Amino acid sequence: MELESNSLEKEQVKGAGQGQPSPYASATPGHQPWTLTPGSAGVEWNSYRTDNGSVENGIPSISSYHDDQQTKNTAAFQDGRNVVSYASSVGANTSHDYSAYITNQNSTDPYPYQYQSQYYGYQHSSNDSSHQQVGVVQNTGAPYQPLSSFQNASSYVGPTSYSSTYYNPGDYQTTAGYQPAAAGYQSSDYNNQTNLWNDGNYVPHQYSNYSLPDANAGQCSSTATVDAAHYQQQYGQWAGYYSQTASDVMCAPGTEHVALTSVSAESSVPDFNPGYPVVNSQPPPPGTTSWGRDTTSSGFPSLQGKDVAGYSQNSNWQNGPLVFAKQHGSQAPLHFQQTLGSTPPSYANMEEQQKMAHAQGSHVRFPSSNQVPQNFRPALNPLPTLEALRASKIQIPTNPRIATNLALSIPKMDKESSARDAASTPAYINVSSSKPSSKLSSHDSAESLTKQDFFPPSIRAYVERSFARCRDDAQRLSNQNLLKEIITKASTDGTLFTLDWDTEPLFPLPTTSFDARNKGSPQTSVSLSPLHKLRRSPSRRTKSRWEPVVEEKVVDKVAHLTHVSVDNTSFNRFRTEKVSDVARYESKGNGWNNTKFVSSQQTSSNRNVQRPAKKPRFSDSDAVQNGSVSSDSDKDQDLTKYHSSAISLANSPEERKKREHRSKRFEKGQERLAEQKNYQPKALRQGGGRNRRSNIPLILKNEDGPKRAVEDIDWDSFTVKGTCQEIEKRYLRLTSAPDPSTVRPEDVLEKALAMVQSTSKNYLYKCDQLKSIRQDLTVQRIRNELTVKVYETHARFALEAGDMPEYNQCQSQLKTLYAEGIKGCNFEFSAYNLLCVILHSSNNRELLSSMGRLSPEAKRDETVKHALQVRSAVTSGNYVLFFRLYKKAPNLSTCIMDLHVEKMRYEAVKCMSKSYRPTVPVAFVAQVLGFSSEDADGKDAGGVEDCAEWLRAHGATITVDGNGEMLLDSKVTSSGLYMPEPEDAVAHGDSNLAVDDFLARAAP
Amino acid sequence: MGDAHRRVGDFVRLFSDAFYSQEGSSLSPLLSVSSSSTSPFLLSVADGLAAFQDWGRLLKQVDGQLEDILSHLLRAVQSFRAGRFMDAYIAFEKSANAFLQEFRNWESAWALQPLYTIAYEIRVLAEKADWELGSLGKNPEKLKGAGSYLMKVFGALASKGPKRVGALHVTCQLFKIYFKLGTVHLCRSIIRSIETARIFDFEEFPLRDKVTYMYYTGRLEVYNENFLAAEQKLMYALSHCNFRREANIRMILKYLIPVKLSLGILPTEFLIEKYNLVEYTRVVQALKRGDIRLLRGALLEHENRFLKSGVYLVLEKLELQVYQRLMKKIYMLQRLKDPSKAHQVKMEVVVKALKWLEMDVDIDEVECIMAILIYKNLMKGYFAHKSKVVVLSKQDPFPKLNGKPVGA
């Protein structure tokens, strides 16, 4: 193989204009074995590569090096543009074993290149956890390593990289248009669509995108024999198909696609029509027309003529166009011939998919319409298997032509599925046609809001955040409305650019009645359209909660037409139903947690990868697998209970009206924005569903370009300068960016501190005031001796009042403040800190480091010395020493020790009762355990009484001897001791929070 | 110029040869950036990079991923040579990430060796970078970054394939980082996955990694004062580690001795001297003599060292054993004088003995210590409060620990 490749490579060298002398040719004679012909003067690998590099043809050469099959294809790669991106992606692939991997990369053409280049761009911003996760999963699919690695290369870095790629609405979405044609790929199409919306979600999709085709491997395994001719043919037929459908419906093929965009696909399937008339009757808005025409005119003719230039319409696919056709011609077939297992089919799938994507150009509408059927399918068939079958079924009747084209894989599925559910299928498609669009539009508006050039990135991030937590379209709608109000308000009062949107909290969402619905979608979706309802068996629910929605959604559709956009919700829904582990993810709410999701998704994808290759399965393979991960139907059942409530809400006329109103409100804006959006540079579209944390990087990226380091930002310029002159201020946790007019400057804060220190009011008041002072200091980023003083003051008050949570806050602040070298009562507080660590956290490691941090001067300090002694008393269990230290504790150390006294006493009595025989005088116990308030010799009767009381409460047995002296009967006691339930215990576990008690203690 | 060009070119060629022919052993040294001060070849490459500014051009010939690895690696070499450790680290991390990216794609484990080198290098460079950052008054955070990189590597290794044997090595490197950073709690999760994940068979890992792993987990157990587990792990490390590596043995003994001491097992004088663990000499003496003052002195003298290594608290707890020894001595002396009354030890005697040792204790405290000794089962008998006398059991009044922790 190597030899062969070598020769091939040499050919390549010749062809590629190898005339350039290799700088290493002479320097590396050791590589002679590689050269075949002496005449070529030792063209060895490196030199070869060099040559190629200089000819800008490096990639083919390297792939040839690795994979002889590839070499044959090199001609196809001559395209210089392709080389650039390809080089980075295929890169250093040494292994011959990975031919599949390489081929995959080739085959996916524009997609992987872009992902990868994106990946490189964002490599550093992508979070670590995702990396790790991917690593793990990747390896689990050992036998399919190439494939999974491929996934990695393109997808796992996803969160960041995809966003930009995918945010070109029109281009990618079109992939979905492919759907009606290729049954098996349906799911992947969905993925693509959804990806547009949330990059956070994106990864999973990508996975399924690749894995699903894989799962189809079984069906497609026969495809392995497909040859170039077939592909070409297929390709051509596709073009033909589209043009034909186009001409069917409209007169001018391929040009006036405005209406056609939707019709062309539908028209091919008569069954669908009932759903569509509504759509078509909608007068296309002007924006739509122009847009649609543009895209189609460029996209279609090119397809027909097999002129690849047509693709260049998509700015994203810069390198795509030229290679595309060639790859099809030469590469795909090769690949098929050469590889085994599941990879080739998947490759084929992807390729086809992409082809479709290209072909479809701007058919925005089918994707959505077709997408829905899948969403609803589960409703009909809770069984995953059936579902998958139907998936294929739905598609196939739709596109007979394609079915024949894809003869290898689809017919089989067709047969099987058609038998089962031929009748029910169309109904679903109907349903689907109306539903998704509203979601699209609502979502679209979300995007249009976010993507506007006009707004600063922080607002965009804010908007994205707010949309990210929406769980369904109703929420999204209301969210959108609220957002709009907020932003309008902000722009009218001029705070739009001054407000700190990154810290701006999100407004509360309206009740999530739709959550339930969303979750329950498998069932609910069934009854989507009236038409569908008619066809349904009467036993089913007749009333549809979606009904009202349908009407308004038709309206939305107009808007939707204009925007090439994809829908989060439909995606979400799709996931819930389809992939069960995805559902799991969903149930976690809307935190777009990539890592978790990746992991779960990966498991499934790996399964998909591993299984199907062996026995030829039909299209149900992926569904079955998904089902095996966790049961879909179980979930569905669980969810049924949500229904009833959701229905009532959704059906109420008010709600209906409201929603209609809302959706109309945005129509115009959407059109405008969508147009803008189409022309925006992609960089601005990044970061769809990011979470809050990434806002800063987002700012950086958008404002200053990706290179600018965090350190270089002048954060100081953002600092608030307070102007408020009032000394007293109530504490209120900030819910928005601080308003300078309510923030006190440093000199006022100093007065405020003095006021608090001298006030005679209770702790609650002091705490409140101090917290507000701390807040003002924080927002103004004042960190100096005043800050230390404030925290120290507060810590002391908190200790006195026994408010440990507050004390801990102060202590941790003080720790960092002292570490910055700001002067204060370091020793006192390091002593407190020590005591806290010893007595409360009992973490040896922490104790050691606290002790290790003490400076020699600190160790000489009395307070610290005392704390250290306490520590030693505690570790050795020396209760005598402990209570002596307790009595002479300096400052507020007593307060901290107070909290440990009970425990120490208990331990002590346990120890004493075990070692003393026969009795111990209670007076002695009282003296040793610090009950008596006086010195050791001055016996205080009160102390003894208290002690006896305490002992009894802890299960000790006390006897009285002849002299009337109380004695602790140690033998009996030793077995009867217990820790009584604290009397002041409160439900929440913190007695400090018991209001009565707290107020009593806090009273002045 | 020509020479520099050639040297850099050689490096690139060697690297890509090793890379493509999958020769881990020849790839490893090329990644070893921090050895560029000692390795003549890397040194010459580093100088070549400095002289030949346009070296990026040479990389045009290599393809994507390798170019990524190489360009950052060369930049790291160059920065390291120039003493800019932070830059070196940043570049190296990029290179390492690119390498890891590739590594994931390889099914075989040929690249484990280079990966080990990377894991080591990234830690060393991060330490140097942090030192540089610290001296500039900036936040030293690179070691943390190296830690998260290694976590990624661990993720890439923790799988069923042949690469899993490398997981323990990376774990050990991670331990080093976490111990250095003082974030040992982060070890927990990784230990859990090593010890519970079914893909890992502990015996399957290379011995050296097992020893290192046991050493670190043993140390963790010392922190938790889980002496039995600590002893077991450290003993494993000691008995399996290369006996010629005295430095390693010393490191193990540094923890093993305190652990053994607290289990009542004393080391020989010879051992302590052979491995130069003199800080323990007086501790051991104190235990033998029952000399509490000696123990406290030893603790005070080596306080910082013991605090740093984390054995301070362990040693401090030996105090009780010292008291036990003292009581035993008193008991034996009394038995010599009057065997019939030997089992009754008066508190005055103990107080007097402690006074001789210049310990500032009064009778209450001594009483308390006696109570604790009895309570912790270091002394059998009871304390009579009225007469201030410890009445010792006639049978084995001072039970030996014999490998059991105090109080067990």
pLDDT confidence band for A799 (50 / 70 / 90): confident
Restricting to B residues 57-116, those with a Cβ less than 8 Å away from any Cβ of A are 60-69, 94, 97, 100-102, 104-107
Distance from CA of A23 to the nearest CA of B (A): 9
pLDDT digits (tens, 9 = 90+) for A64-113: 333 333 333 333 333 333 333 333 333 333 333 333 333 333 333 344 33
pLDDT > 90? residue B60 = no
pLDDT higher for A414 or B137? B137
Please give the average per-residue pLDDT across A758-762, as a whole number.
Answer: 85
pLDDT higher for A410 or A786? A786
Q: Which residues of A touch B163 (CB under 8 A)?
A: 139
Distance from CA of A915 to the nearest CA of B (A): 5
Is A120's Cβ below 8 Å from some Cβ in B?
yes
Q: Which residues of B touch A936 (CB under 8 A)?
A: 364
**pTM higher than 0.90 for the full model?**
no
pLDDT digits (tens, 9 = 90+) for A210-269: 333 333 333 333 333 334 334 444 444 444 444 443 333 333 333 333 333 333 333 333
Location of each CATH 1.10.10.10 domain in chain B:
320-392
pLDDT > 90? residue A903 = no
CA nearest to A413, candidates A383, A438, A391, A436: A391
Contact B317 A876 (CB under 8 A): yes
How far apart (Å, rounded) are the C-alpha atoms in residues B286 and B131? 40
What is the token pair recorded at A120?
């490189």
Across the interface, which of B61, B67, B383 has its CB nearest the CB of A915? Answer: B383
pLDDT > 80? residue A6 = no
Q: Which residues of B touch A120 (CB under 8 A)?
A: 68
Strand order in the sheet with A919-921: A919-921, A966-969, A958-960
pLDDT higher for B395 or A535? B395
**pLDDT at residue B231, as a whole number:** 92
Please give the average per-residue pLDDT across A377-391, as a whole number.
Answer: 38
**pLDDT at residue A1003, as a whole number:** 59
Query: What is the per-residue burial (b if ≥16 Cβ within 10 Å, else e) of A764-792?
Result: ebbbbbbbbbbbbbebbebeeebbbbbbb
Contact A139 B148 (CB under 8 A): no
Q: Which residues of A touch B159 (CB under 8 A)?
A: 135-136, 138-140, 142
Most confidently predicted of A33-47, A132-146, A715-729: A715-729
Indicate the SS3 state at residue B192.
helix
Q: Which residues of B touch A70 (CB under 8 A)?
A: none
Query: What is the per-residue burial (b if ≥16 Cβ within 10 Å, else e) of A589-611?
Result: ebebbbbbbbbbbbbbbbbbbbb
Across A316-320, A666-670, A783-787, least confident range? A316-320
Please give the average per-residue pLDDT across B285-305, as a whole number.
Answer: 90
Contact A911 B16 (CB under 8 A): no
Long-range Cβ contact pairs of A628-631 (< 8 A, separation 24 or more)? A629/A579, A629/A580, A629/A581, A629/A603, A629/A604, A630/A580, A630/A581, A630/A583, A630/A584, A631/A580
Indicate the SS3 state at residue B389.
strand
What is the token pair recorded at A840?
């409360």
Determine how β-strand A958-960 pairs with β-strand B344-346.
unpaired
Is A88's Cβ below 8 Å from some Cβ in B?
yes
Nearest CA in chain A to B379: A915
Please give the average per-residue pLDDT across A325-350, as a whole number.
Answer: 38
Phi-psi region of A714 (alpha: psi -120 to 50; beta: other; left: phi over 0): beta
How far apart (Å, rounded) are the C-alpha atoms in residues B369 and B353? 14
Strand partners, A960: A966
- Rounded to the nearest angstrom, the gap between the alpha carbon of residue A307 and the centroid of all alpha carbons in its chain is 39
Distance from CA of B239 to the nearest CA of A (A): 27
Please give the average per-residue pLDDT across A387-413, as a whole number.
Answer: 39
Is A24's Cβ below 8 Å from some Cβ in B?
yes
pLDDT digits (tens, 9 = 90+) for B72-103: 888 888 888 888 888 888 888 888 888 888 88
**pLDDT at residue B250, as a whole number:** 92
pLDDT digits (tens, 9 = 90+) for B145-164: 888 899 888 888 887 778 88
What single letter denotes the amino acid at residue B383?
F
Nearest CA in chain A to B296: A872
Q: Which residues of B touch A153 (CB under 8 A)?
A: 101, 105
Indicate the SS3 state at residue A689.
coil
What is the C-alpha radius of gyration for chain A, rounded to an integer number of angstroms? Answer: 36
Burial of B165 (0-12, 13-18, 19+ CB in 10 A): middle
- H helix count then E strand count, chain A: 55, 3
Contact A880 B365 (CB under 8 A): yes
Assess contact for A403 and A654: CB atoms under 8 A.
Answer: no
The mean predicted confidence, pLDDT, of chain A is: 53
Query: Which residues lie below 8 Å from residue B136, measured CB to CB, with a gap of 6+?
Result: none
Is B174's Cβ below 8 Å from some Cβ in A?
no
The mean predicted confidence, pLDDT, of chain B is: 85
What single letter denotes the amino acid at residue B155?
G
Does ipTM exceed 0.90?
no
**pLDDT at residue A528, as a whole number:** 38
Long-range Cβ contact pairs of A533-541 (< 8 A, separation 24 or more)? A535/A424, A535/A427, A536/A427
CB pairs under 8 A between A and B: 210
Is A912's Cβ below 8 Å from some Cβ in B?
yes
Q: Which residues of A touch B101 (CB under 8 A)?
A: 152-153
pLDDT digits (tens, 9 = 90+) for B187-229: 888 888 888 877 788 888 888 889 999 999 999 999 888 899 9
How far apart (Å, rounded) are the C-alpha atoms in residues A609 and A603? 10
- Rounded to the nearest angstrom, the gap between the alpha carbon of residue A277 and the centroid of all alpha carbons in its chain is 38
pLDDT digits (tens, 9 = 90+) for A118-165: 333 333 333 333 333 333 333 333 333 333 333 333 333 333 333 333
Nearest CA in chain B to A848: B307
**pLDDT at residue B393, as a whole number:** 87
Is B382's Cβ below 8 Å from some Cβ in A?
yes
Indicate the SS3 state at residue A878.
coil
Contact B160 A142 (CB under 8 A): yes
Assess contact for A367 and A177: CB atoms under 8 A.
Answer: yes
CA nearest to A556, candidates A439, A638, A654: A439
Q: Which residues of B touch A916 (CB under 8 A)?
A: 371, 382-385
pLDDT digits (tens, 9 = 90+) for A907-924: 888 888 888 888 888 888
Q: Give the number of other CB atoms < 10 A from CB of residue B339.
A: 9
Contact A90 B63 (CB under 8 A): yes
What residue has token string 């660590």?
A: A837
Phi and psi of B394, rounded to 5°? -80, -20
Assess contact for A609 and A144: CB atoms under 8 A.
Answer: yes
Q: Which residues of B touch A848 (CB under 8 A)?
A: 223, 307, 310, 312-313
Q: Classify the C-alpha dihedral B341-B345-B347-B351 as positive or negative.
A: positive
pLDDT digits (tens, 9 = 90+) for A525-552: 333 334 343 344 334 443 434 434 333 4
Contact B154 A89 (CB under 8 A): no
Across the interface, which of B163, B225, B365 has its CB nearest the CB of A139? Answer: B163
How far apart (Å, rounded) are the C-alpha atoms in residues B50 and B31? 18
Say yes or no: domain B320-392 is CATH 1.10.10.10: yes
Q: Give the number of other CB atoms < 10 A from CB of residue B17.
A: 18
Contact A852 B304 (CB under 8 A): yes
pLDDT > 80? residue A730 = yes
Restricting to A residues 836-895, those with a Cβ less than 8 Å away from any Cβ of B are 844-845, 847-849, 851-852, 872, 875-881
